[in-house]
Amino acid sequence: MTGTMPARVVNAMSVDVEDYYQVSAFAGTIPRAEWDRWPDRVGTSTRACLALFAERDVRATFFVLGCVARRHPDLIREIVAGGHELASHGMSHHRVWELSPAEFRADVRDTRLLLEDLGGVPVRGYRAPSFSIDRRCWWAYEMLAEAGYAYSSSIHPIAHDHYGMPDAPRGPFEPGSGITEIPVGTVELGDRRFSCAGGGFFRLLPYAWSRWGIGRVNGAEGRPVAFYFHPWEIDPGQPRVPGAPLRSRLRHYTNLGRMEAKLRRLLRDFAWDRMDVVHGTAQPLAEPLKVA
């Protein structure tokens, strides 16, 4: 008797393109009005990401801040030329609930138009800074649909002190406005959820945790994981921000020097592609999830 091996699950790789001084953890230390005073490193670190992906012939989705795109138009064209998906991370890293509906509408519209003009390709995906779509701003999906987006990856369905919606679905779902929401990866142990989505969890915890978690979702559930990281996470030489809270410094700087090697292992151990390719035929939940 002969059998066939199950097809290898292809996961979704993504990069949130922002510089080290633009992260939410430093928002109380570095006002946006002072961003231009800090050395710009996002072009070099993002090109390092492109080189990593080229080594393994991996295509990814790059969620780019509009302010970064405006400053680095050549970088946008390099992302597209590499076969990667160009997507929106908003204009200036405002968390969604910091904006009014009208301000958010303008933010996502203007960012999409800018990226499309620079990249010469349609922009259909959006990721909220700091996974900041939650019950306070469920109206954001209506604005995204109006602005021409097809999907969002703006929810991390765990409990966290900076973000999270732990009762949201773990897989793609329809939030009620024609947009598909694709949460980043989580694994369940008993009645608890844990992140296997990348970012700080990937950098701070042993690699074995992420390998196990992604493997469990791929194997036991037969589903892909949406993974993310930032270019500054593979830039150990970045300037240190004085006066930042201790917790922010620990989260931001720990294991920067080990991140690139861990990513190489991850790219080798699992199959990866762009968000729009992996989830191009993904079916949302039969019933939309609506939040009053």
pLDDT of residue 230: 98
pLDDT at 5 over 50: no
Instruction: Give the DSSP letter of residue 171.
Output: S
Pairing of strands 10-17, 61-64: parallel
Higher pLDDT, 10 or 164: 10
162 vs 31, more confident: 31
Helical H runs in the chain? Answer: 42-56, 66-71, 73-81, 101-119, 140-146, 199-204, 207-220, 246-253, 256-269, 275-278
User: Over 50: is that where the pLDDT of 283 sits?
Assistant: no
pLDDT at 77 over 90: yes
pLDDT score recorded for residue 285: 45
Residue 147 clears pLDDT 60, i.e. is over it:
yes
Answering whether pTM is above 0.85, one says yes
Q: What's the rounded mean pLDDT across residues 37-46?
A: 97
Residue 20: CB partners within 8 Å, gap ≥ 6? Answer: 26, 38, 41, 232, 235, 238, 239, 241, 252
64 beta partners: 17, 88
CA angle centred on 144, ends 140 and 148, rounded to 5°: 170
Question: pLDDT tens, 165-186?
Answer: 889 999 999 998 899 999 999 9
Could you report the per-residue pLDDT of 202-229, keeping only the tens digit for each? 999 999 999 999 999 999 999 999 999 9
Could you give the domains of the chain? 10-278 (3.20.20.370)
**In terms of Cα–Cα distance, which of 141, 91, 275 is closest to 198?**
275
Residue tagged 């830039």 (tokens): 235
